Amino acid sequence: MKEMLSNLVFFGVILSIGAYILGDVLKRKFKSPLFNPLLISTAVTIAVLALCGMDYESYCTGGKYLGYFLTPATVCLAIPLYEQFEKLKKNAPAILIGIISGMLTSFCSILAMALIMKFSHEEYVTFLPKSITTAIGVGVSEEIGGYVGVTAAVIVITGILGNLIADGVFKLFRIKEPVARGVALGTSSHILGTVKALELGEIEGAISSLSVVTAGIFTVIFAPMFANFI
């Protein structure tokens, strides 16, 4: 079975898309945040690979082709930014303060966790880039001496968790302002949070896209400073 599937060039693509469609169908049917397509597709993909005894390299032989769409998909995030440019200008100070507050809250919570759990320096800095997109976070982790593989996993988990609990958090704290929602999702949950923001509305998606980029830049600048605290 393993050898047969490994020889199928597009097995990774078929598995990834099929798992996501399954997650989307379950979400539409049960209308529960627990049936998040990203969460379901990740779990199904891991389960299938484990049952078939297939390693990541074999899966990635075909799955990597999905990565070719990441660049144009990321560029497309500029469209809602352009369409909501006046909204961005009007709320620029609030957006900037929100992004900085979110980034500092992330850093400080990680520092507190590291002190309580007595992390080593390497373990501590591994978690610092958890809320920014993988492409930037992995580079930051490597630069400040973290475990790059763990950082990548933590970033993905953070994004999925943010996407999963966003609706509940907004309802709990009665956050209805689109700008506030967009800043919260983009700053805390990077691209996966932006996916959720786009579901909520065009303004949320635009603000979240901006927050992802801005938070990434700020993290590159300030993470090395926070890395010296432990």
pLDDT of residue 8: 60
The CA R_g of the chain, rounded to the nearest whole Å, is 19
pLDDT tens by residue, 121-173: 999 999 999 999 888 899 999 999 999 989 988 998 999 899 889 999 999 99
Whether the pLDDT of residue 72 is over 60: the answer is yes
Q: What is the identity of the amino acid at 41? A: S
**What is each CA distance from 152 to 87, 131, 137, in whole angstroms?**
33, 11, 7
pLDDT tens by residue, 47-59: 988 888 887 777 8
Whether the pLDDT of residue 7 is over 70: the answer is no
pLDDT of residue 79: 82
Structure-block tokens of residue 136: 């930037």
**What is each CA distance from 225 to 32, 61, 104, in whole angstroms?**
41, 39, 12
> What pTM does this model have?
0.83
pLDDT of residue 4: 52
